Chains A and B, each alone.
Chain A
Amino acid sequence: MTIETLPGLPERSDDATASIIKLAILAVGGQGGGVLTDWITAVAERNGYCAQSTSVAGVAQRTGATIYYVEMAPDTGRAPVFALSPSAGDVDIMIAAEMMEAGRSIQRGFCTPDRTVLIASSHRVLAVSEKIVPGDGRADTDRVWQAARDASHKLVCFDMEKLAIENGSVISASLFGALAGSGALPFDRTSFEDTVKASGRGVEASLRAFSAAYDRAVQGDIPAAVDAKTESKGNVSGSSKLMIQWRTLEDRIATLPPPVRAMAELGLRKVVDFQDIAYGAAYLDRLDKAVAMDSADHGFAFSIEAAKYIANAMVYDDIVRVADLKTRSTRETRLRREQGVPDTGIVQVTEYFHPRMEEICGLLPARLGRWMENHPAVFGWFDRRVNKGRRIRTDRLTGFCMLWIVAGLRRWRRGMRRHEVETAHLDDWFTLALAEAKQDYALGVEILKCRRLIKGYSDTYDRGHSKFQRVLSGLPVLRGRGDAADWLRRLRDAALSDEKGDALGGALKTIATL
């Protein structure tokens, strides 16, 4: 949480509206901005103020940005002339029900350091444009937070959404609490609470959220919680025979250069979890190759990235893995936690699968699978029978057992067609990275990172592969250039910025002109 206050500035004498309190609310449609506005006018009237509120919410503004505006002044028996909309540079209290809306209030000039108390919830409601990016399209919250500190006279900022949910309420209640706690309005706590009580619905939960937010706002500046990455790795457990084998792998990790160990440990866990101890050993064998050509001069960057992406490449998403993950006891525990179902509760779970012949073929012995892929007529005949949506109830024994059996195919995985394909691809990529790294270390690192492009299932997976190939197709032009690594990074970023790869196409054209 953040509370920042600048020293008071002299009141401006000419402005006749000094006795009017001007309050604006920026929210996302559906956040209950209307309820909050009603509460604010009600609490003003309860304290002997004249109040006027307006909105341009419109009934169709659904999930878009909405604005509410309230003005109030002590009631002298004569009606003041209030404005119907906020003016830039003329807002005393700005309530933002979401972090980017706080940013928007600053952009629109409703939040100025000479006067505005900014009450902002630090949580994010992601805009669609942020969510549809194949990579990470989320806006930079830190920059908004920094701007909020600079642009406000006083800033009250914490996660009011979380606080509301924890108290079984909605964000309007915690925003109202933060407003009361900020001291920006000259009214006492009781009158705020009485206002909530008088409004009638969901009073108890609203008051709980109000109270929690009030206390947070009053407490003042609390140092931000120390980054809670305590590096707590989960316990490893298993039969004593397996544990002995695991120790030998861990001993190998201990022989790696110190900077590489943490990532290698995580990677190792991931691949062993995916297959078995021997698979872990194969992982470390590959990693050794990276370490062998690496040195402390580069901070072992190549080896660290290799530790990460070799693990990701070795842990491909086949049906066996999906079935395995869906039938674990830890999965049920997490599902219940996320859905808020107590251990004693009953929950019906439907899984949405759509296996295609490609996936089934991947399960076949490598030779048979290859033969099948080379005979489109046969492949198509099976595909027509296989390729359809399947809803599997894993809370029922038939559904669960089916997946459990599929998960059990793990022991034959090494002989499957999919494994053959994935391993070949992995080896090609890794060999390429090793070879390039010897000439241009940074370029080798970037080639490793390109593995990030391969993800998803079916079409998305294919598109990922094709982007991967297209990005690497830039290599012949880049080789030997001093900025080759930087260009490859740009190509990768472009590939991650849109679905179809338009940006990548543009970037490749640029490269061609180099």
Chain B
Amino acid sequence: MAERSFAKEVQKLRLGAGETFRGEGILAITKALLENGVGYVGGYQGAPISHLMDVLADGQEILEELGVHFEANASEAAAAATLAASVHYPIRGAVTFKGPVGVNVASDALANLSSGGVTGGALVIVGEDYGEGSSIMQERSHAFAMKSQLWVLDPRPNLPSITTAVGQGFELSEASNTPVMMMLRIRGCHVYGSFTAKDNVRPPFSVRDAMENPSRDSERIVLPPYSYVHEKEKIDKRLPAAIDYIRKNKLNEFFGDTDATVGIVLQGGMYNSVVRSLQRLGLADIYGDTKVPLYVLNVTYPLIDAEFLEFCEGKNAVLVVEEGQPDHIEQAFGAMLHKAGAKTKLVGKGPFPMAGEYTGAVMMDGIRAFFEAHAPEWLPSQGRAPNAPPPSQIAQDLSTVVPIRPPGFCTGCPERPVFAATKLVEQELGPHHIASDIGCHLFSINQPFEIGGTTMGFGLGPASAAAFNDKKSKRRTISFLGDGGFWHNGLTSSFGNAVFNKNDNVIVVVDNYYSAATGGQDVLSSRADNKSKSTKHPIAKAVKGIGVEWVRQIDRTYDVGKLRDTLKEALTTTAQGPKVIVASSECMLNRQRRERPAMNKAIKEGRRVLKPRFGVDEDICTGDHACMRLSGCPSLSVKTLDDPLRDDPVASIDQSCVGCGNCGEVADAAVLCPSFYQAEVVHNPTAKDRWAERLRRTVTRWLQRRRETSRLCFGE
């Protein structure tokens, strides 16, 4: 069950010609795929295109009606390999994943696909996660496209442009027998807007047609002598065909006056930001109408010499707006101008920073600097001498006050106790080398746990500790990976690797029943019933199957004591080979989404329900915050007591507590204070409950009164 349900929104996929579609970018892309007769879609989740996978999953009924196959791939590599269906058959196919990490994983398949080329249109929709808030290394997928020769679309980030680009991408792919990468930046994926829909089109040639009428062509296979033939074909046939298509169909766009002496070349995805700067400088109106010549690269690879040189004609200076590094596009343009002997000055990195996101402020500064240097007369007086108030001292003063707020484990997260247990083990046995992996569990590197030293890639946690394989070492390493990473890559790359190399270290699989970090998509070991997918394949069984002998399955991660003891055993046992602990409990976000409505319904229907929540006895808590150093739960916070005798704030649990039990378990395992209690409210009590309550009250109140009459009582 995905985190966000698109069950309602996917009905928009049924809109017909002329109707207005309103919604998010990713949903619009799905609609465009259907309008363009796509035959199959696949992909692997990950921000920013996770929701695209969720839309496809929720829209399966509509896809089936049209005869479109949807494949929730096991990894980006599997997704890219799926495009092989378009090699011999005239079927349009699209897959999606995030870049550049997904592209890295998919690289083998993408390179083979690019070499042999395609018959049907093959579209790789890549969600670029560049800039602030990104959870991955900052790289460009552009370089990959250049070396394998895939064309790159980078459409303007509005729904009409993005949806048009989908159709153009298929046509370009077919015209040049080359797969096409469509780049979407994170905000473009999540942009809300509208476009005019067209009718959906059934694929003229479906996957079923292909299966029933197989065909093959040895020349499309990467093996001598064809591999070398492909290399020449790429340059002699496919590139010219692509350039021809791009020019004829005007994929790149021109705006503004043609005869100005300066101009701006930009990636399509940068268009809104460039126009915003021009608007603020008084050089464009709110609809984007401007006198400044703009050459918008909706196709950023291949670049077209003739188009660019034509644009530069008569211009003294041209600004290249290209986000990220290396500056592939600027370098290519520089070479073009140089070879053509042109006098136009090329400006790009310089006014713009080489690394980092082109935020609104960066863009504004870069463009203003360009005009100041090369066309100051264009700038209004205010633009030349900005009249804005100087950056205030206020913001600087706050830098020591405002705490950073990195993402962390949710309230009730079942992974929290795993790391609490690890911290307790380290307190006892000393620090260990700990390898981390991708997923929610990576939040363990932040406060309060601060556990883990490296993260090398999805499913590669244990593999990244492979070098530490010395039988004489007195201390073992601990590696973490999640169930998502396990099925993505971990089983072979990490577990197979460890078994084969006789690794003695400890591996913890944090199993929360979902690919939780990307929004709760099901994986093989998910315990939910999934109509269209096969689930409930235990990780422990897979691990044993691959040859691990020491496996411990823990089915309630909140049992901190048991986790701590198991981990200790794994670190100290004399057993040979990898020691694997599968720590399983359901992701609390997903669990609450399922259970909360069911619980509320049960309460409404008058059934007996226990609703748990934790609390802290404020007069027992001494305000040392040891519990928080083993938790970090958002619902466990501190409050000030109205008591001048107390210096420090005490622990306090707010309304959002879901009663997971971690606080109590940690207090027990770490021997913290006895101030935690669990309160379970009995909804719709039975007659027996009420009878027991009456008895309890009679006795306890008598005892309390007895004691209270023998001492002084101080009212609160």
Contact = CB atoms under 8 A, between A and B. Distances in A.
A331 B674 CA distance: 14
Given A52-B192, A60-B407, A389-B669, A335 B158 contact: no
Given A107-B402, A126-B637, A272 B712 contact: yes
Contacts of B632: 128, 131-132
Contact of B624 (A109, A239, A354, A464): A464
Contact of B619 (A41, A82, A239, A325): A325
A469 interface: no
Contacts of A58: 47-48, 129, 133, 135, 186
Given A14-B281, A273-B712, A339-B615, A352 B625 contact: no
A16 B398 contact: no
A84 B273 contact: yes
B664 interface: yes
Interface string B281-296: 1101111100000000
8 contacts: A63-B634, A81-B286, A81-B287, A86-B360, A106-B394, A455-B648, A456-B673, A458-B671
Contact of A242 (B648, B695, B712): B712
Interface in A324-350: 325-332, 334-335, 338-339, 341, 345-350
B626 A14 contact: no
Interface in A428-462: 452, 455-460
Nearest to A54: B187
Contact of B132 (A56, A330, A407, A459): A56
Interface of A: 12-17, 19-20, 28-30, 41, 51-67, 73, 78-90, 100-101, 103-104, 106-109, 112-114, 125-136, 138-140, 143-144, 147, 150-151, 165, 229, 234-239, 242-243, 246, 262-263, 266-267, 269-270, 272-273, 276-277, 308, 311-312, 317, 322, 325-332, 334-335, 338-339, 341, 345-354, 356, 389, 391, 394-397, 400-401, 404, 407-408, 452, 455-460, 464, 496, 499
B622 A351 contact: no
A127 B712 contact: no
Nearest to A17: B279
Interface string B539-557: 0000000000000000000
Contacts of A41: 192
A351 B157 CA distance: 56
A354 B272 CA distance: 61
Nearest to A499: B629
B361 to A, nearest CB: 5
A41 B280 CA distance: 23
B273 A103 contact: no
Interface stretch (B29-37, B311-319, B439-447): B439-447
Contact of B359 (A85, A273, A407): A85
Nearest to A18: B286
Interface string B210-247: 00000000000000000000000000000000000000
A332 B693 CA distance: 13
B679 A335 contact: yes
Given A56-B186, A81-B276, A325-B620, A90 B714 contact: no
B407 A150 contact: no
Given A114-B389, A397-B700, A128 B447 contact: yes
Interface stretch (B70-78, B458-466, B681-689): B681-689
B448 A28 contact: no
B90 to A, nearest CB: 35
A455 B622 contact: yes
B18 interface: no
Contacts of A458: 671-672
A396 to B, nearest CB: 7
B5 to A, nearest CB: 12
B644 interface: yes
A210 to B, nearest CB: 19
A328 B671 contact: no
Given A127-B405, A143-B401, A404 B703 contact: yes
A464 B625 CA distance: 12
Contacts of B667: 352, 354
Contacts of B671: 354, 356, 457-459
B387 to A, nearest CB: 8
A347 B645 contact: no
Contacts of B536: none
B623 interface: yes
B96 interface: no
A41 B23 CA distance: 11
Given A30-B411, A62-B408, 15 more contacts: A56-B132, A59-B51, A63-B410, A73-B286, A84-B188, A107-B402, A135-B647, A140-B401, A144-B398, A234-B715, A239-B710, A325-B619, A339-B615, A354-B674, A455-B622
A132 B680 contact: no
B190 to A, nearest CB: 5
A129 B394 contact: no
A459 B610 CA distance: 34
A511 B628 CA distance: 31
B520 to A, nearest CB: 8
Contacts of A246: 712
A53 B388 contact: no
Interface in B100-139: 129, 131-133, 135
Given A30-B410, A62-B409, A354 B284 contact: no
Contacts of B305: none
Contact of B622 (A151, A317, A349): A317
Given A106-B395, A347-B679, A135 B410 contact: no
A89 to B, nearest CB: 6
Interface in B656-700: 663-665, 667-674, 676-682, 685, 689-690, 693, 695-696, 699-700
Contact of A397 (B561, B629, B664, B695): B695
